[in-house]
Amino acid sequence: MAYSDFSLRKAKQDFGLTTVEDGKFLPKIEPISPSPVLAQLLEESIPWAIAVGTEKAKSEMIVAPTLLEVKRLLERKISVFSGSDFTVDSSVGLNGVCDFLISRSPEQFEIEVPVVVLVAAKRDNLNSGLGQCIAEMVAAQRFNEAYDHPLPTIYGSVTTGTAWRFHELPRLVEGRGFLQPHQLERTY
Q: What is the mean pLDDT of residues 159-185?
A: 63
User: Is residue 60 within 8 Å of 45, Cβ to Cβ?
Assistant: no
Mean pLDDT of the chain: 88
Distance (Å, whole) CA 107 – CA 160: 27
Distance spanning both ends of the chain, measured CA to CA = 34
pLDDT of residue 142: 96
pLDDT tens digits, residue range 78-122? Answer: 999 999 999 999 999 999 999 999 999 999 999 999 999 989 989
Highest mean pLDDT among 116-120, 164-168, 177-181: 116-120
Q: What is the mean pLDDT of residues 57-76?
A: 96
SS (H, E, C) 136-183: HHHHHHHHHHHCCCCCCEEEEEEECCCCEEEEEEECCECCEEEEEEEE
Q: Greater confidence, 19 or 44? A: 44
User: 125, 41, 135: which is closest to 89 by C-alpha?
Assistant: 135
In the predicted structure, residue 27 carries a pLDDT above the cut 60? yes
pLDDT of residue 171: 57
pTM of the model: 0.88
pLDDT of residue 10: 96
In the predicted structure, residue 167 carries a pLDDT above the cut 70? yes
Distance (Å, whole) CA 5 – CA 96: 10
Which letter, b or e, does each residue of 80-98 get, where b requires 16 or more Cβ atoms within 10 Å of its Cβ? bbbeeebebeeeebbbbbb
pLDDT of residue 44: 96
In the predicted structure, residue 184 carries a pLDDT above the cut 60? no
Please report which confidence band the pLDDT of residue 170 belongs to, taking 50, 70 and 90 as the band edges: confident
